[in-house]
Amino acid sequence: MSSKQRLKNIDKTIIVLVFLLSIIGLIAISSATGANISGDYSKIIVQAVWMVFGFASMFIIALFNFNMIDENLRNILAIAMYILNITLLIAVLIFGYEVNGAVRWMRIGPFNFQPSEFAKLIMIFCMAAFLSLQDDNINNPIYLLMNIALVFLPIIFILKQPNLSTSIVFVLIFLAQLFVARLDYRYILWGLALLIPVLLGFLWYIKRPDQKLLEDYQKIRILAALSPGDYANKEAYQTIKSVQAIGSGRLYGKGIYQGILNKAKYLPEPQTDFIFSIIAEEVGFLGCSAILLIYFVLIVKGILLVRNIDDIFIKLVVTGIIAMIFFQVFINVGVVTGILPNTGLTLPFISYGGSSFLMNMMAIGFLLNIGIKKKQSYRY
Instruction: State the DSSP H helix or E strand holding residue 103, giving kind and residue range, or none if neither.
Output: strand 102-108
Give the separation between CA 88 and CA 91, rounded to whole angstroms: 5
Nearest to 167 by CA among 220, 98, 102, 119: 119
AA letter at 231: Y
Report whether pLDDT(348) > 90: yes
Give the integer Cα–Cα distance in Å for 19 and 54: 11
Exposure on the CB side of residue 293, measured as CA atoms within 13 A: 6
Residue 349 has pLDDT above 80, yes or no: yes
Mean pLDDT taken over the chain: 85
Lowest mean pLDDT among 230-244, 308-322, 339-353: 230-244
pLDDT of residue 264: 61
Asked if 155 and 120 touch (Cβ cutoff 8 Å), the reply is no
194-213 tens-digit pLDDT: 878 888 887 777 777 777 77
> Which alpha helices (H) appear in the chain, and where do they start and end?
3-8, 12-32, 35-38, 42-63, 71-95, 115-133, 141-159, 164-180, 185-206, 216-226, 237-248, 260-263, 275-307, 312-336, 354-376
AA letter at 327: F
pLDDT digits (tens, 9 = 90+) for 62-103: 988 877 778 888 999 999 999 999 999 999 998 888 776 677
Which H, E and C letters describe 285-318, residue by residue?
A: HHHHHHHHHHHHHHHHHHHHHHHCCCCHHHHHHH
Residue 128: how many CA atoms within 13 Å on its side-chain side? 22
Binning pLDDT at 50, 70 and 90, where does residue 226 land? low
Q: Coil, strand or helix: which one is 196?
A: helix
Mean pLDDT of 280-301: 95
Per-residue model confidence (pLDDT) at position 242? 84
What gap in Å lies between CA 341 and CA 321, rounded to an integer? 24
More reliable by pLDDT, 265 or 40: 40
The rounded Cα 71 to chain-centroid distance in angstroms is 27
Report the run of H or E that residue 111 belongs to, with start and end: strand 111-113
Distance between CA atoms of 129 and 363, rounded to whole angstroms? Answer: 16
Q: Let me know: does 21 contact 279? Beta carbons within 8 Å.
A: no
Cα-to-chain-centroid distance, residue 258: 29
Task: Provide Rg for the chain, Cα atoms.
Answer: 21
Are the C-beta atoms of residues 278 and 311 closer than 8 Å to each other? no
Q: In this structure, what DSSP letter does residue 98 have?
A: E
pLDDT band at 379 (very low <50, low <70, confident <90, very high): very low
CB 331 within 8 A of CB 165: yes
* Residue 69 neighbours by CB under 8 Å, 6+ apart: 77, 380
| Residue 53 vs residue 160, higher pLDDT | 53
How large is the average pLDDT for residues 344-370? Answer: 92
Q: 97 in helix, strand or coil?
A: strand
Q: Name residues whose C-beta falls within 8 Å of residue 303's C-beta, 6 or more positions apart in sequence.
A: 322
**Are 376 and 9 in contact, with CB atoms under 8 Å apart?**
yes
For 129-178, write each residue's pLDDT tens digit: 999 987 778 888 899 999 999 999 999 999 888 888 888 899 999 999 99
